[in-house]
Amino acid sequence: MVLGLYSSNRLEITTHSGPLPVCDLCILPLTSDQSFVFLSRSSLSLGVPPIPKRLLPLPTIIQFFVLLLLSLQASRFIFASSVFTPPNEPPTSGVDRSITAVFFLICLEGLCGGSAYVNTFYHVGREGEDREHEGEEGPKRKMEKEFRIGATGASDSLGKLSQDRKRRIPAER
């Protein structure tokens, strides 16, 4: 679970700092991404059932494929109409269909990132509740749960910090 959350953060930040800026559609997709992250992180509060524990890697796997598709769009223009594909001169009117594809992929990436986060913490917080704790006292169980949540939070932070180093803007000289 911890590795999945770490990977999910790495993929999300890599998507935002790698192929997405090259797609020239930064503001709208990033706003929608954060909206969908918020929506998916609120999913359990809205009554959506949690992802089963065995399917927890699925959001991260989907994020990997979103990163792959956005990288291909940035380098090969796989979603763009031939009229909008370089080295052709872009037309003065019309809208390229790649905008819709990139918007959809960014929304999917936001849903998967938020889902990985909320479901990982949900399962970590509930771990051990389904079996009997023979002879264990309450404070020990609380400390174990606190440690599990802390370790998961550390992996979440590590995933963000490991990519944040690469995103820093160099100081002006």
Task: Please report the pLDDT score of residue 103 as a whole number.
Answer: 86
**Cα–Cα dist 64/7, whole Å:** 9
**Mean pLDDT score, 99-124:** 91
Whether pLDDT at 90 is above 70: yes
Q: Using alpha carbons only, what angle is made at residue 66 by residues 169 and 111, rounded to the nearest 5 degrees?
A: 90
Shortest CA distance to 69 belongs to which of 95, 32, 106? 106
pLDDT at residue 158 in the model: 83
pLDDT band at 173; cut points 50, 70, 90: very low
CA distance 133 to 130: 9
Overall pTM surpassing 0.85 (yes/no)? no
Q: What is the mean pLDDT of the chain?
A: 81
Task: Please give the span between the terminal C-alpha atoms of the chain, in angstroms, as a whole number.
Answer: 43
